Amino acid sequence: MYYEVIEDIVSAITREKQIKKWNRAWKIRLVEEMNPEWEDLYYKLIGESMITVDSVDQLKG
């Protein structure tokens, strides 16, 4: 229903923790600003980027 593109894992985890503290109304507003029809975004996302086990292993070095 909602996603954000965040460049690094530390920032992503920080943002996730921030949003988890929000009340339900704020979270709903966040989703509706980006996705007012509450569409399933899965297929749009996998077309843009797909993280696989191999790509994660490559990042680890």
Give the gyration radius of the chain's Cα atoms.
14
**What digits encode the pLDDT tens for the residues 7-43?**
999 999 999 999 999 999 999 999 999 999 998 888 8
With contact defined as beta carbons under 8 Å apart, do 30 and 19 qualify? Answer: yes
Identify the pLDDT of residue 28.
95
pLDDT of residue 9: 96
Evaluate if residue 3 carries a pLDDT over 90.
no
Answer with the residue of higher pLDDT: 42 or 50: 42
Overall pTM > 0.85: no
- Whether 4 contacts 15, CB under 8 Å: yes
Give 23-28's long-range contacts (Cβ < 8 A, gap of 24+): none
d(CA 7, CA 17): 16
